Chain A
Amino acid sequence: MLDLSRLEISRRTFVGGVGVGALAGLLAACGGSGTAPGAGAGIRWWDHFGGLQDQHKIWAAEQAKKLGLPVEYTYNEPGRAVEALQLANQSKQLPDVYSNIVGLPLPALVDSGWVSPIELSDEALARLPEGTLVEGISMLDGVVYGLPVMSDRQYWACTWYNSEIAESVGFEPPRSYDEFRTALKAIADDGRFAPLTLALGASERMRDQADDLAQSGGFPGWQGLRYDTGEYAYEDDAYVNVIELLKEISDNGWLLPGTNSFQVPDARGRWAAGSVGFAVDGPWAPGGVRALNEAHLPKMATSGQLTPEGEDLVITRGAPAPVWFVAGNTKHPDEVNLLLESFTQDDYQAVLAEAMDQPPLNLDVVADADVIEPYAWLVEDYKKRVFRAPQPQVRNPAANEALAFMMPAAPHLGDIIQGYLGGDVTDLRGELVKLSDTANQNLDQAIDKAAGAGAKVSRDDWAFTDWQRGVDYAY
């Protein structure tokens, strides 16, 4: 029998024991995947939609009751969400359901075991608007791998203005570049408010907005790529005109001081504080503003997106991108499918609408949702102005193989805008030509690599000579 009274522990034995114990603990902590807290016990759901956190927490709790299984919802900041998923995948702890923030095309995700098929019931499929599930985007060989729940019909460079300042200063909602100049000048001359703020420090956001403005300015493509020729052409007049407009605004001193280094929350926050006339932001601005200063919501107004002469806006967008994926190693495929089906219901679509973030897939629910009038107006505008764009990976899913190899170009359009407004770039068109050359070269190299790996893909897949502006593209 062990006599504890005779057990002597020297200092060395004690410290050594503690050291060995700590080491054993460390090794245990580095151990296998099955030890992750919560893994396998229920459904784990991760996303990066900051404006939907509260709604998704509630939705997760409601669905947990219906499914009889815990649903653990986790929000990850967009800046960290990719790394979080990378680490989760490497340690075989991918959440059962996660949002689409991984930049890889669908076939690469399927090949790498990141996603598994989604089995939607006929009832759920019937609720999806026509053309929601598209081969090459959300399906491969007829199998659904990604579920879109947000609309592709949107534009991102919306001209938001403060209706109180508009009334006080006396400017009209601008539709054209000249009207915009006039309104900004009126605010500057008035002297009580700053005319405009942008997220100039967030060069990716500036790139997105300039891409949209160039398209509404007549560029026959998107993100620098011409639909008709399949060539990058950032040096097009439509791009130059947009950037020159921004330069003129900056040189006139019409930007709120500090705008050069503003990130998205900085710019939105300053505008929501109420002393800036205009902000260029996406349709999700009301949701973001509500989180920062709800009192500003009633003052929000928008005139849509600018066109050079105030002509009718024409925007093109690809098929709805998948929003939700199911992990390749989920232990609850049936329950996860039911959770995903719940996202197709009108009440979930109404939740999306009322969050006033990205518009829901079913745009019709917005009219009856509790949203501010400008948001409802924008969504109605989307229905009229946004058309379906051609996409190489829809015409030939093998194009996805090339897209997975595509290196991003640097400096990209947003960087060039930042540099041109700050005086670091002096030859704008020359810099845009260089960007086009780099992007074309990167695409050619990506196609060569994909072709070398056996994919039947060529640069011709990117050219849609029969594309017409203002018409939904049909293959």
Chain B
Amino acid sequence: MASQTRPRRRNLWIYAFLMPTFVLYGVYTIYPIVASYWYSFVEWNGFSAEQRFVGVSNYEAVLADPLFWSSVRITLLFMLVVAPLRIFGAFFLAILLNSPRLPFARFFRTVYFLPVVTTTAIIGVVMRFILDPGAGPVAAVVGLFGLPPVDLLGDSATALVTTALVYVWKFFGITMIYWLAALQTIPQDVYDAARVDGAGGARIFRHITLPMLLPFLLIITVLTIEDCFHAFDLMQTMTAGGPFYSTEIIEIYIYRWAFAASIPQLGFASAAAVLFGVLVLVVVALQAWATLTSQRLRSQGTEKGRA
């Protein structure tokens, strides 16, 4: 009897400890997701109590809006520019910073990580001053060469690339930390053995470091790509989606309809948000599928080679 009571009491404690997480996750994650699915089927302005069920007409309206597709294109373009820079740039930097021969390695790691812990909205505002074509330091440097002012954020041809580069700088450090953590998993013995066998730095990198880091590439890529879909705070403070929608990522599109419209359209915005969630899911699923398929093909190739 006592032996049955003890596991039950222990389980109770486990649930008691998990309860805050369950409650917070439910209130701040599950509930908003479920609510947004419901809102996407109603016409509601957020002010009145009345929520009129309209079926899938919000989805039809979103899919028929050229500006929605423009925001999808811009979001994907932004991700395609930003993700490789973050993943591979951070990879090479992590290799460099992991070298025991590099002096001040801790200092450089801190310096590269510092933007990550700085408030994104503050960075957006400060960057607007830095890139100000009238009085910013960039304008001063350009002026030294006798060139006319360059309005990087005010020109639709340059605004997206400029914000993308600022985004990469801001979040570069977090991807670098992922890679540094991955590098720590490679046993030092393997490197020592390779050196005893006469392998140089390049061969060690090619035949030990790279192959042993490949399994981490999938998870780091998934995390980074998913992260790249969330650039609202930086984009809103730097360009607010302008000029002329050239930096309007889906998150800003959703915000515009939900909060910036004269009469908010929460149903329409929720439909766009649900479609955005589906897009993220599809992109990550495609990417995971491609990586797993390539790994399977590679392992099949290795087995055939052995046979």
Bound Cα distance from A209 to B177, whole angstroms: 49
- Tell whether B270 is near chain A: CB-to-CB under 8 Å: no
Asked whether, in the complex, the Cβ of A104 is within 8 Å of the Cβ of B263, the reply is yes
Asked whether, in the complex, the Cβ of A408 is within 8 Å of the Cβ of B246, the reply is no
CB-CB contacts below 8 Å: A19-43 with B: 19-20, 22-23, 26-27, 30
Asked whether, in the complex, the Cβ of B263 is within 8 Å of the Cβ of A418, the reply is no
> Given that A12-B13, A407-B265, A410-B67 are known contacts, is A419 also in contact with B244, CB under 8 Å in the complex?
yes
CB-CB contacts below 8 Å: A263-298 with B: 263, 270
- Tell whether B124 is near chain A: CB-to-CB under 8 Å: no
Asked whether, in the complex, the Cβ of B262 is within 8 Å of the Cβ of A408, the reply is yes
- Tell whether B132 is near chain A: CB-to-CB under 8 Å: yes
Asked whether, in the complex, the Cβ of A201 is within 8 Å of the Cβ of B47, the reply is no
Judged by DSSP, the binding face of B is loop
Bound Cα distance from A26 to B256, whole angstroms: 32
Determine the residue in chain A with the shortest Cβ distance to B266: A86
Asked whether, in the complex, the Cβ of B20 is within 8 Å of the Cβ of A19, the reply is yes
- Tell whether B144 is near chain A: CB-to-CB under 8 Å: no
Asked whether, in the complex, the Cβ of A112 is within 8 Å of the Cβ of B156, the reply is no
Bound Cα distance from A12 to B45, whole angstroms: 48
> Given that A23-B19, A257-B149 are known contacts, is A424 also in contact with B261, CB under 8 Å in the complex?
no
- Tell whether A310 is near chain B: CB-to-CB under 8 Å: no
Bound Cα distance from A104 to B47, whole angstroms: 8
Asked whether, in the complex, the Cβ of A201 is within 8 Å of the Cβ of B154, the reply is yes
- Tell whether A249 is near chain B: CB-to-CB under 8 Å: no
- Tell whether B153 is near chain A: CB-to-CB under 8 Å: yes
Asked whether, in the complex, the Cβ of A411 is within 8 Å of the Cβ of B139, the reply is no
CB-CB contacts below 8 Å: B104-142 with A: 128, 132-135, 139
- Tell whether A109 is near chain B: CB-to-CB under 8 Å: yes
Asked whether, in the complex, the Cβ of B134 is within 8 Å of the Cβ of A19, the reply is no
Q: Mark B27-41, 1 if CB is under 8 A from A, else 0.
A: 100000000000000
CB-CB contacts below 8 Å: A137-189 with B: none
The segment from B73-81, B91-99, B235-243, B294-302 found at the interface with A is B235-243
Bound Cα distance from A260 to B259, whole angstroms: 23
Interface size class of A (residues with CB under 8 A): 35 or more
Asked whether, in the complex, the Cβ of A424 is within 8 Å of the Cβ of B243, the reply is yes
**Most chain B CB atoms below 10 A, which of A12, A20, A261:** A261
- Tell whether A451 is near chain B: CB-to-CB under 8 Å: no
- Tell whether A129 is near chain B: CB-to-CB under 8 Å: no
CB neighbours of A432 from chain B (8 A)? none
Distance to closest chain A CB from B65 (angstroms)? 8
Partner of B49 from the list A19, A112, A419 (CB cut-off 8 Å) is: A112
Bound Cα distance from A228 to B239, whole angstroms: 39
**Most chain B CB atoms below 10 A, which of A12, A260, A411:** A260
CB neighbours of B240 from chain A (8 A)? 201, 263
30 contacts between A and B (CB under 8 A): A20-B16, A23-B19, A26-B20, A27-B23, A82-B264, A103-B45, A103-B47, A104-B263, A108-B47, A112-B48, A112-B49, A113-B49, A194-B134, A201-B154, A201-B240, A201-B242, A203-B242, A256-B134, A257-B133, A257-B134, A258-B132, A260-B154, A261-B154, A406-B263, A408-B265, A419-B243, A422-B154, A422-B243, A423-B156, A424-B246
Q: Interface on B for A, CB 8 Å cutoff?
A: 13, 16-17, 19-20, 23-24, 27, 45-50, 65, 67, 128, 132-135, 139, 149, 151, 153-156, 239-240, 242-246, 256, 259, 261-265, 268
